[in-house]
Amino acid sequence: MALRLYDTGSRSKRRVEYQGDALTIYACGITPYSDSHIGHARQAIAFDILVRWLRSQNVPVKYVTNFTDVSDTIIEAAEKEGVDYTVISNRYITGYRKSMKRLNVLDADAYPRVTESIDGIISMITTLVEKGHAYQGDDGVYFEIETAPEKYGYLTGQTLEMVKSGAGGRVDDTGIGKRDHRDFALWKFEKSDGPSWESPWGRGRPGWHIECSAMVYEHFGERVDIHGGGSDLMFPHHEAEIFQSECCFGIAPFASHWMHNGMINVDGEKMSKSLGNFWTITDAIDAVGEIVLRYSLINAPYRQPIDFNEVLLKDAELNYRKLLNCILNAGGMTDGTSWEKYEKLLISEEAFVSGMNDDLNTRVAIAETQVVVKLMGQSLREQNRGLTDACIGWLAKYAGEVLGIIPSEKEISLMMDDRAKKRSNIEKEVDDLIEQRRVARSEKNWTEADRIRDVIEKMGVSLQDDDNGTHWQITGD
RNA sequence: GCACGAGUGGCAGAGUAGCUAUGCAACGGACUGCAGAUCCGUGGACCCGGGUGCAAAUCCCGGCUCGUGCUCCA
């Protein structure tokens, strides 16, 4: 396979390979305790682009992403509202799925939930206890780091000693029954009346990390080709998964590639509720539209931090408008037009493909898309239908199918209808005004001509004067 | 403190040894009565100091600055 992907484990770009019938991808999803934010959107889009790219290259892919549908945060939210915890998790899962759809994120093959994976979780913990990697403490079952110290720091380069010295007071609150503060919980015993399940060690609920190991096993077996999530999950979450899965099944590596997307800052600061610079996905979509949001989130390659700010959004919006206008001006999408006769398009294709194969460089991919949009602008001007159709074919495949930044054909044709309707509603009036303006212009009455132009533009119409007279079109909404 | 990553034109942001990134902005031009839109073109950059090379933004060493992580996190 031509795709080279950065692997956090080896800290290098490595060729992607797969062993079974399909390439397996697991991404850690959200904990649904509040509205999803643009950081969640970025993570989902990064993996969506990975899946779309592989599929467009005819690689069979199985993609699974989970919901951590039981957690302290969910339980707190439920208590606050006086509802069952499932009310909270279901509400935000529904909201998340809805947002993903709007952002053109394709459905994963499965969305497992912790609460539906309890059996698998218990069975993994049982094995870990039997093999001597886990022990029961006063308040839960813990994984014992000292039983596999060589695995510590695989993703983050941290050593056992560093965590002890640097973590300050925070390590005190993570469980009182541990032998070592770096051990992590596999099963937490029931404290009050929160959700809990029977287990060989007593009623309780899973620790945060074990769910993903269990779900990967359930869907893919002992190992997975690509595993990932936000870079903030590297430690401790993903390192904990490595301990659990590798020790449970006696295999290594658990994941061939670890893929981590970068975080989002807002106006140069970390996005957080307390700073008040927090964007939920729905807020962002309301502000700029769903595809512009998606465009802005793939403007930088997935590993780079993104600064979410006015300039980024303005840029994404402008470039998206250009793309969309070209398509609308060309009369919408056309089916299956190839571009192999046009050398410029082949060159752009080559650049796009090699950019994507180089660790999913969406920045290069977007740059090539912009090149093609420009070419299409020339083509429309010259009324070169063959080239225009070829450009549309290129854009449909690369900007549409791969990057997901073109609305569906259905939406495009709705936009076209809408334009046509608007046009026919005002056609007569505009034509009359243009005629009046033409007369004023022929009399060199520029004041009157400009006044009429203002009137026309207020109707949402833009005029173009050229040799053949005056043309007009509905301004992009 | 330790770990990981980053510092590129006015701005966003690719490139990782020799060949135009791209977009916005600026400037010049075509078109226009003017403007807008569109198109054509121009200039301008590689944090600092050393080193290796015919050649370094790109590799190596040192420094400075910034971001993130270090058991809530996408």
ipTM of the complex: 0.90
- Between the CA of A268 and the C1' of B64, what is the distance in angstroms? 21
Residue–nucleotide distance: A463 CA to B66 C1' (Å): 48
Q: Give residue A311's pLDDT.
A: 85
Name the residue closest to the C1' of B39 by its CA: A378
Q: Which residue is nearest to nucleotide B34 (CA to C1')?
A: A446
Q: Examine the pLDDT at A187 and tell me if it is beyond 80.
A: yes
Nucleotide closest in space to A446 (CA vs C1'): B33
pLDDT exceeds cutoff 80 at A177: no
Q: What is the mean pLDDT of chain A?
A: 89
Which of A106-110, A187-191, A243-247 shows the lowest per-residue confidence on average (mean pLDDT)? A187-191
Closest-approach nucleotide to residue A355, Cα vs C1':
B14
Helix axes A310-329, A362-381, angle to 10 degrees: 40
* Å from the A309 CA to the B61 C1': 37
The amino acid present at A173, given as its one-letter code, is D
Is residue A26 a contact partner of residue A257, using CB atoms and an 8 Å limit? no
Q: Nearest 5 degrees, angle CA A357-CA A256-CA A7?
A: 50
pLDDT at A160 over 80: no
**Residue A169: its pLDDT value, please?**
41
Closest Cα partner for A297 from A92, A98, A2, A43?
Answer: A43
By C1' distance from the Cα of A166, the closest nucleotide is B70
Asked if A240 and A183 touch (Cβ cutoff 8 Å), the reply is: no
Nucleotide nearest to A167 (CA to C1'): B70
Nearest nucleotide to A299, CA against C1' atoms:
B13
Return the closest nucleotide (C1') to the Cα of A359. Answer: B14
Å from A68 (CA) to B67 (C1')?
28
Q: How far is CA A441 from CA A138, A235, A266, A435, A472, in A?
A: 90, 70, 50, 10, 16
Q: Which nucleotide is nearest to A34 (CA to C1')?
A: B73
CA→C1' distance for A275 and B26 (Å): 36
Q: How far is the CA of A298 from the C1' of B34 (A)?
A: 40
Segment of A105-109, A155-159, A189-193, A283-287 carrying the highest mean pLDDT: A105-109
Strand-pair category, A184-189 with A140-143: antiparallel
Could you tell me the distance in Å between the CA of residue A454 and the C1' of nucleotide B33? 16
CA to C1' distance (Å), from A301 to B46:
20
Reply yes or no on whether the pLDDT at A476 is more than 60.
Answer: no
Q: Which nucleotide is nearest to A46 (CA to C1')?
A: B74
* Buried residues in A390-413 as b, exposed as e (16+ CB within 10 A): bbbbbbbbbbbebbbbbbeeeebe
Q: Which token pair is A77?
A: 């939210």
Q: In percent, how much of chain A has pLDDT > 70?
A: 95
Give residues with Cβ within 8 angstroms of A406, minimum separation 6: A291, A323, A324, A327, A333, A395, A396, A399, A400, A412
Task: Tell me the mean pLDDT in the region A186-204.
Answer: 90
Nucleotides, chain B, CB distance < 7 Å: 1-5, 11-16, 21-24, 31-40, 67-74
Whether the pLDDT of residue A167 is over 50: the answer is no
pLDDT value, residue A164: 56
A356 CA from B55 C1′ (Å) = 30
- In whole angstroms, how large is the CA radius of gyration of chain A? 27
A26 or A466: which leads in pLDDT: A26
**What pLDDT shows up at residue A181?**
83
Give the pLDDT of residue A427. Answer: 86
Instruction: Give residue A246's pLDDT band: very low, low, confident or very high (50, 70, 90).
Output: very high
Domains and CATH numbers, chain A: 4-261 (3.40.50.620), 269-407 (1.10.730.10), 422-474 (no CATH)
CA of A367 to C1' of B47 (A): 26
Average pLDDT value for residue range A202-223:
94
CA A318/CA A315 separation, integer angstroms: 5
Residues whose CB is less than 8 angstroms from the CB of residue A52 and which lie 6 or more positions away in sequence, other chains included? A106, A401, A402, A403, A404
**3-class SS of residue A381:** helix
CA A78 to each of CA A75, A83, A296: distance values in angstroms, whole numbers, following the listed order: 5, 5, 34
> In the prediction, which pLDDT does A168 show?
42
E runs forming strands in A131-284 = 134-136, 140-143, 184-189, 204-206, 224-230, 255-261, 264-266, 269-270
Q: Which nucleotide is nearest to A437 (CA to C1')?
A: B33
pLDDT tens, position by position, A329-366: 888 887 778 898 898 899 999 999 999 999 999 999 99
Q: Which of A156-170, A347-361, A433-447 has the lowest mean pLDDT?
A: A156-170
Nearest alpha-carbon partner for A401 in A99, A57, A56? A56
pLDDT for A385 equals 87
* Under 8 Å between Cβ of A344 and A374: no
Give me the CA A330–C1' B42 separation in Å, rounded. 31
A475 CA to centre of own chain: 31
A292 CA to B23 C1' distance (Å): 15
Does residue A231 register a pLDDT over 70?
yes
